[in-house]
Chain A
């Protein structure tokens, strides 16, 4: 499982594939105040990126992958 959902936190791990976007969107619909954690995430498929950009959830922790953080930070901050 590339995204682990905990109460109001979605933890992104490793590589998050295209199919995960559907569940992610549903989760945000149920948890409008859901937060995200990217610490161990290395890549998210574009499908997830557009969900995140539409929702703009609070980010608890940025990715340790510097390049990913460079991309995500200006978009989700």
Chain B
């Protein structure tokens, strides 16, 4: 055989092997045969070592979602989905809601994210290790991410990870339709360090007790001798009745994730005149019978469609374009030949009388989403920021972090969108002009002596004085003479001058962090502009002039406000003048209409004359 034929055969063999390996990669649960009904999930439970869990074998170990689901689903691919991939360096996309680290004692509320969103800090900048991050925020994580990433584990925590186990992607967090599913247990277990037990605890057919955090580094899940009888080792008890004769358990799983599952992490409570749950309305889409995942879709890769304009181009995902507001309601940006407008029954709007410039300068959500803007932006609480839905939630309206909405902010692309906003507050060091947050644990001993305790349990700011800030700053410098310490809060950066005088100055690090939101969507009849132009274009309209409280822990400076227009690329004077001009608009319209009418009448009458003259000319008369 000639060398060229040998090479050709070799290439063919490689192609065939590659094709085979690809076909083997697609697992049975990941390839639809076209049947739209949900398959029954009667499954053996596997522990993290891959051994089957049966009611007969003691100790009963926590089931591993990875091992239990992997036989049919590509766990690796799924675990790179949007909910899990923050720390993988994936394109961050539009700025979103960060995790907010809150510590009342040190007067801290600081935006954290593993994503590269401008204005956020990476947790390690505050000395927060992945393990602590999971303990702090695992409550509203569906597992995976840094909780399941060995490469991110810090050496000092290696033994603790052995004790706690990994926080694997918990498929049940989203897909479980079991009535007894208790996502709040995820919070309880992650705080206790019971990462490998957390999924089981939420499942509704198992109970977990004990705390891995209390266990020594040499703790073994197969049994350990403890020197303290009061400490309870983590252990799981299954409802044995749920096991069939083959040790299989019926999971009630749904492909189409129920809204309740999304709501656990994505709820917003608006604190205002109508803040009671029965007084507020659902998003119009939900009221119409839709589910969150009807728009926020994903494939096997679990890269959820976030639904903002430009996402399709950013992620090279043309399908995402059809799932934005405009994609569904107007059919814009859809692929050639695809009729996307009106899908799922989306009404195609007429927008009668609205000048097209509004569609260039505003997102759809500006007029249609969130609470109707009032004279002052509403305080809001969100699941992820305020631990809503967990057993440890502070139900007080003043509980930190202090987020307000809606704030109409001009985004980087020049388009105005409704945002949620809060003002970062944290202790910092200044290095080469850069403001970097300090680990709050370093500040706590200094602050604890000065800051009054939250005896009423409001969770509100302690109300710092500038003197207290100065004392803490001096304390920080005493601990590390090379440090240039500062405090960021209420839009200011506080630092001590060379003479020890307190200096407060505006600083970029103190600017508020905001992120666009899209829900709840209001119906057409409750959209901005429905009552006329002066819903926004008036001398005192909330759209431009609503008060945005400058939230600060510094008691003497509380009460300051900014105006909505301060976050738009427009001068307050112009906005007010433009608003006032609308008072003359009816008169203007009448004058111009009359003038145009006169011109039109003249033109038409002389045109008729011309025609009649032409006809007479043709007659020879």
- Judge: A and B partners, yes or no: no
Residues of A within 8 A of B (CB): none
Residues of B within 8 A of A (CB): none
